[in-house]
Amino acid sequence: MHTRCVHAGRDDFARIGVHAPPIDLSSTYPMHDLAEGTADLDALAAGEAAPAHTAVYARLYNPTVARFESAFAELEGAQAAVAFASGMAAITALFLAPTDRGRHIVAVRPIYGGTDHLLASGLLSREVTWAAPHEVAGAIRPDTAMVFLETPANPTCALVDIADVVRQAGDVPVVVDSTFATPILQRPLALGAAAALHSATKFIGGHGDAVGGVIATSEAMARGLRQVRILTGGILHPLAAYLLHRGLPTLALRVHGAQAGAGEIARRLARHPAVHAVHYPGLPDGDPQRLLGRQMSGAGSLMSFELAGGYQAAAHVMESVRLITPAVSLGSTDTLIQHPAGLTHRLVPDAEREAMGITPGLLRLSVGVEGVEDLWADLSRALAGVGDADWDSSSEGAASPSNGELAAR
Ligand SMILES: *Cc1c(COP(=O)(O)O)cnc(C)c1O
């Protein structure tokens, strides 16, 4: 895998005489033969992977994006990959893609707040049934187009058994948001999923400087995604494609390095008196289904933890860290901390959010590749300020703010 990360999408370098991927920023392409141009346009509009003569127009095809896509498909063991302007653009295209099955989607909660809100909003005129992982079989209908799940799930880091959901779904395609795992730790297609989806903004780019999304899947499914991408204009920018491709050679190193630090931080947090609970698959009770080793080769570098002191304590920790960046997003070389109830999952209705375990005292930590002792020094200093559960009762009305209350802060 290390070798594939380094060399994927670079096989032709010796032949074309370069050592780094060329960037093509053209917005349009010259066309000297109208009949050929028309044929290329037809082929791209039908979802073909590449044109025979000219790319016609940058919203239809870009060679720098295509190079990143072929590299990424190789890492996921997929026939094809389709890259988008963001993870949400990829998710939107997925739900809009043509299907002969129907308008119904089964979604396994919890998932990323933006995905949850997109599905719940009705914007896409799709009908959604929310299901727990063991309820998928019962939620399938004759018009179900797909089952959508995320594992590890955001932000609780609960693992969903992909192979079990695939079994329950029968011939209905299962799509996995595998953003937290990356192809280094998890390969959903090998477990029977129809597609693996990523917010490439996170680990794939890895340096917090590019936004993108990518779906690795069969050539047949990729065709439908490309068609939607052309119509809705969600193609990845070539500069972002270059940065995402540049992230790949270090992907395995970064993922394994961050994971080693995360395991240590999780164990220390679990022993800390201000911390009520730590959700991390690598802790003894963090993987009740024993999916580590079977589905995921490691526990990753994302965790969430519950402060005994509730919202006030969580806010204090987020505001007190100095080395760690208080910010949404994840999978960067630097460590990030954020408050899911107030930020990433704010648009999920209060009752649903609480049912998913996203409480006011929950923080999500994305461990980077810094030295563990430096990270722990920062985190333990921030935690030292919050004390235990009694600390919170002195702060008026802070036990469990609703969305409205959080908005007022
Ligand atoms: C960030 C994220 C998304 C959305 O991706 P963007 O690139 O921010 O649009 C989707 N799923 C998961 C799990 C994420 O973490």
Q: Is 59 a residue of the active site?
A: yes
Assess contact for 253 and 272: CB atoms under 8 A. no
The residue with greater pLDDT, 394 or 10, is: 10
pLDDT band at 315 (very low <50, low <70, confident <90, very high): very high
pLDDT band at 395 (very low <50, low <70, confident <90, very high): very low
pLDDT band at 388 (very low <50, low <70, confident <90, very high): low
Q: Where in the chain is the domain with CATH 3.40.640.10?
A: 2-250
pLDDT of residue 402: 45
Does residue 150 line the site of ligand 1, with CB under 6 A? yes
pLDDT at 49 over 90: yes
Q: Is 271 a residue of the active site?
A: no
Residue 138 neighbours by CB distance under 10 Å: 11
The H or E element that residue 307 is part of is: strand 302-307
Does residue 177 line the site of ligand 1, with CB under 6 A? yes
pLDDT at 363 over 50: yes
Q: Which of 84, 86, 88 to mutate to test the pocket of ligand 1 (most atoms within 8 A of CB)?
A: 88
User: What's the whole-number mean pLDDT along residues 91-101?
Assistant: 93
The conformational region for residue 59 under phi > 0 = left, psi -120 to 50 = alpha, else beta, is: alpha
pLDDT at 393 over 60: no
Does residue 152 line the site of ligand 1, with CB under 6 A? no
Q: Length of the chain, please?
A: 409
Return d(Cα 244, Cα 348) in angstroms, integer.
29
Does residue 116 line the site of ligand 1, with CB under 6 A? no
User: What's the whole-number mean pLDDT along residues 84-107?
Assistant: 95
**pTM of the model as a whole:** 0.93
- Going from the Cα of 33 to the center of ligand 1, the distance in angstroms, rounded, reads 41
The H or E element that residue 149 is part of is: strand 144-150
pLDDT of residue 352: 82
The strand pairing partners of 150, in sequence order, are 177
Q: Which residues contact 210 (CB under 8 A, 6 or more apart)?
A: 200, 201, 239, 240, 243, 244, 247
Q: Where in the chain is the domain with CATH 3.90.1150.10?
A: 251-389
Given this structure, which CATH class describes domain 2-250?
alpha beta
- What homologous superfamily does CATH list for 251-389? Aspartate Aminotransferase, domain 1 (3.90.1150.10)
Distance (Å) of CA 100 to CA 104, 143, 145, 171, 365: 11, 9, 8, 13, 41
Backbone angles phi, psi at 88, to 5 degrees: -70, -35
Active-site entry in 10, 109, 187, 202 = 202
The H or E element that residue 336 is part of is: strand 336-338
Active-site entry in 59, 101, 268, 346 = 59
Q: Where in 22-109 does DSSP place strands (E)?
A: 80-84, 104-108
Percentage helix, strand, coil for the chain under 3-state DSSP, each rounded to 5: 40, 15, 45
The strand pairing partners of 306, in sequence order, are 277, 362
- Calculate what percentage of the chain has a pLDDT beyond 90: 86
Return d(Cα 9, Cα 204) in angstroms, integer.
14
pLDDT at 394 over 70: no
Amino acid in position 256: H
| Protein residue with its CA nearest to atom 11 in ligand 1 | 112
Return d(Cα 404, Cα 409) in angstroms, integer.
9
Q: Are strands 174-177 and 213-217 parallel, antiparallel or unpaired?
A: unpaired
User: What's the whole-number mean pLDDT along residues 185-191?
Assistant: 98
Structure tokens at 119: 């599905």
The strand pairing partners of 174, in sequence order, are 147
- Using a 10 angstrom Cβ sphere, with 0-12 exposed, 13-18 middle and 19 or more buried, the burial of residue 30 is exposed
User: What's the whole-number mean pLDDT along residues 317-337?
Assistant: 96
- Going from the Cα of 115 to the center of ligand 1, the distance in angstroms, rounded, reads 8
Distance (Å) of CA 16 to CA 3, 11, 20: 21, 10, 11
The per-residue pLDDT of the chain, averaged, comes to 93
Assess contact for 406 and 362: CB atoms under 8 A. no
Does residue 211 line the site of ligand 1, with CB under 6 A? yes
H helix runs in 31-101, sequence order: 34-45, 63-76, 87-96
Distance (Å) of CA 154 to CA 132, 163, 208, 355: 14, 19, 18, 14
The H or E element that residue 39 is part of is: helix 34-45
Return d(Cα 61, Cα 379) in angstroms, integer.
45
pLDDT of residue 387: 64
pLDDT of residue 204: 98
pLDDT of residue 345: 82
| Residue range 107-136, pLDDT digits in tens | 998 889 899 999 999 999 899 999 999 999
Q: Is 202 a residue of the active site?
A: yes
pLDDT at 200 over 60: yes
Closest ligand 1 atom number to CA of residue 200: 7
| Residue range 123-170, pLDDT digits in tens | 998 999 999 999 999 999 999 999 999 999 988 899 999 999 999 999
Active-site entry in 116, 161, 164, 177 = 177
Assess contact for 113 and 345: CB atoms under 8 A. yes
- In which residue are the tokens 């909003």 written? 121
pLDDT at 250 over 50: yes
- Going from the Cα of 112 to the center of ligand 1, the distance in angstroms, rounded, reads 7
| Protein residue with its CA nearest to atom 8 in ligand 1 | 87
pLDDT band at 396 (very low <50, low <70, confident <90, very high): very low
